[in-house]
RNA sequence: GCGGGUGUAGCUCAGUUGGUUAGAGCGCCAGGUUGUGGUCCUGGAUGUCGUGAGUUCGAAUCUCAUCACUCGCCCCA
């Protein structure tokens, strides 16, 4: 291993990549703001218990994917593998139950020690939202609608589809889980090795198996919908109707599940087929049991998270870089630096060449995709003016120094 | 964590049955005279052939290990 290599599964984002990345974040935040969400910035590390208790001691994330270390105080610290736990912790430690309902947006790096693949990194980035304190289905519709709108705003509407399911409330889930385990236990010899493990740890996951043998067993398994109580059925109906009413079509996907106990009712995923095995691009659900499980006041919650790298890879075009003005001084003492400072203060993006003759500098200005070159020569200066060359049209004119800001307005 | 593929200049790749100075295109730099770009012409630089061992008179070419990337599984954004 060379220290000159980035750590496995980490990346440097430069130029076009960084602009795509930034675009995803900005569009998500801007859209969330229109839905009334404000930003919360939580630490990227927490006490390990924050994650082990919220994600469940048996989940893959906790058992084998966390970046955990002991700090100099002897505390066990973990780099956050996802965003919800930190937000929930902040909600409790900040006493934010005074401010319900609460709509929070977050963004930033997450860390999971997994085998890297396309669209799956060890340090990756998410944007996400949480809506706390609303237990009715209107919240689900609003949150999913926001997710859909983010994808629309990014131009990805035709590349993703929305899958929706309900897990029912605690009572419905417990009843169903019992029935499912009973059924699957009767078919142990037909299940794959993975699914036998799932049966122990996370039986609902068997429904989602890609193994053909498992699929055959699952085909005759009891259906969750048959175990939904009145309240749960009703809730789901309202979510579906609500999504219809805002023009966000969803496909009901009975095998879409969440394993952890605090999840309930709505589960959804926006998926794409364009990223290989990592098809999920934005996903979330309702987690009414989470905050109380962490020791806070019983509080409803629903949210989603989206993978910034995955979305970034789906963008059709890269946002353009700034198009600066290029100042080209001819001679040493023509005041290029003060002029650059003055124009920058006036709001222009300004590049200053560092070396070379006029031809070379024009060439560089061109490569920077500059809108115009400001040629500062002795002749022009003697007339208190600068030569301004429009690099798109090739037209060149002399502009008096005093009128520069006004006359350059079209290049801003 | 498990299985398959790949790894040659900044980028995309070529490299004959192992043979001596490792190539192309793009990009980069310089020049085509002293203040005018995007085209064109000419010239130039750049590689521990991912890394480390081994086989061999000789390895970018064969073997092994290791690292990274990649595809799939697991899981997930």
pLDDT of residue A259: 62
Are residues A41 and A87 in contact, defined by beta-carbon separation less than 8 angstroms?
no
Place of tokens 């794959």: A192
Q: Mark the ranges of chain A whose per-residue pLDDT is less than 50.
A: 1
pLDDT of residue A340: 92
Å between CA of A355 and C1' of B34: 16
pLDDT of residue A260: 67
Nearest nucleotide to A55 (CA to C1') is B76
Separation CA A295–CA A298 (nearest Å): 9
C-alpha dist (Å) from residue A388 to A223, A341, A344, A407? 73, 17, 16, 10
Instruction: Give the pairing type, strands A67-70 and A76-79.
Output: antiparallel
Å between CA of A368 and C1' of B34: 26
Secondary structure class of A136 (helix, strand, coil)? coil
Å between CA of A2 and C1' of B61: 25
Q: Which nucleotides of B are covered by protein (CB under 7 A)?
A: 1-3, 28-31, 34-38, 66-77
Nearest nucleotide to A257 (CA to C1') is B76
Q: Which residues contact A216 (CB under 8 A, 6 or more apart)?
A: A190
Å between CA of A88 and C1' of B20: 68
Instruction: Give all domains of chain A, ordered by start, each with its CATH number.
Output: 15-169+229-314 (3.30.930.10), 325-411 (3.40.50.800)
pLDDT of residue A1: 43
Nearest amino-acid residue to B70, taking CA and C1': A117
pLDDT of residue A2: 52
- For residues A188, A191, A197, A201, the Cα torsion angle rounded to the nearest 10 degrees is -70
Nearest nucleotide to A118 (CA to C1') is B70
Are residues A9 and A309 in contact, defined by beta-carbon separation less than 8 angstroms?
no
pLDDT of residue A191: 80
pLDDT of residue A39: 97
Nearest amino-acid residue to B51, taking CA and C1': A1
Separation CA A99–CA A242 (nearest Å): 26
Å between CA of A82 and C1' of B75: 14
């Amino acid at each position: 291993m060379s220290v000159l290599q980035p750590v496995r599964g980490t990346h440097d984002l430069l130029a076009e990549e960084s602009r795509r990345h930034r675009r995803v974040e900005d569009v998500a935040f801007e859209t969330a703001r229109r839905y009334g969400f404000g930003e919360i910035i939580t630490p990227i590390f927490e006490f390990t218990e924050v994650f082990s208790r919220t994600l469940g001691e048996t989940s893959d994330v906790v058992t084998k994917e966390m970046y955990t270390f002991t700090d100099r105080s002897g505390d066990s610290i973990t780099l956050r593998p996802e965003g919800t736990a930190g937000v929930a912790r902040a909600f409790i430690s900040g006493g934010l139950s005074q401010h319900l309902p609460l709509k929070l947006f977050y963004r930033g790096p997450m860390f999971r020690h997994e085998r890297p693949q396309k669209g799956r990194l060890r340090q990756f980035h998410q944007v996400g939202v949480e809506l706390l304190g609303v237990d009715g289905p209107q919240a689900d519709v609003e949150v999913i609608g926001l997710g859909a709108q983010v994808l629309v705003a990014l131009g990805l509407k035709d590349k993703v589809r929305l899958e929706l399911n309900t897990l029912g409330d605690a009572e419905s889930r417990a009843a169903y889980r019992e029935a499912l385990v009973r059924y699957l236990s009767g078919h142990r010899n037909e299940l794959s090795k993975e699914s036998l493990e799932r049966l122990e740890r996370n039986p609902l996951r068997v429904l989602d198996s890609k193994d053909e043998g498992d699929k055959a067993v699952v085909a005759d398994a009891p259906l969750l919908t048959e175990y939904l109580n009145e309240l749960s059925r009703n809730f789901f109906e309202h979510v579906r109707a609500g999504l219809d009413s805002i023009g966000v079509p969803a496909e009901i996907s009975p095998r879409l599940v969440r394993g952890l106990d605090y999840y309930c009712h709505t589960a959804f995923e926006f998926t794409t087929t364009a990223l290989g095995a990592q098809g999920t691009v934005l996903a979330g659900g309702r987690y009414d049991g989470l905050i109380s499980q962490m020791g806070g006041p019983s509080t409803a919650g629903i949210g989603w998270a989206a993978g910034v790298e995955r979305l970034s890879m789906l963008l059709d075009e890269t946002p353009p870089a700034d198009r600066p003005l290029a100042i080209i001084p001819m001679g040493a003492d023509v005041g290029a630096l003060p002029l650059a400072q003055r124009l920058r203060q006036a709001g222009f993006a300004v590049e200053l060449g560092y070396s070379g003759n006029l031809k070379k500098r024009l060439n560089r200005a061109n490569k920077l995709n500059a809108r115009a070159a400001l040629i500062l020569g002795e002749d022009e200066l003697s007339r208190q003016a600068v030569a301004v060359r429009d690099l798109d049209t090739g037209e060149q004119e002399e502009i008096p120094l005093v009128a520069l800001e006004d006359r350059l307005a079209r290049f801003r």
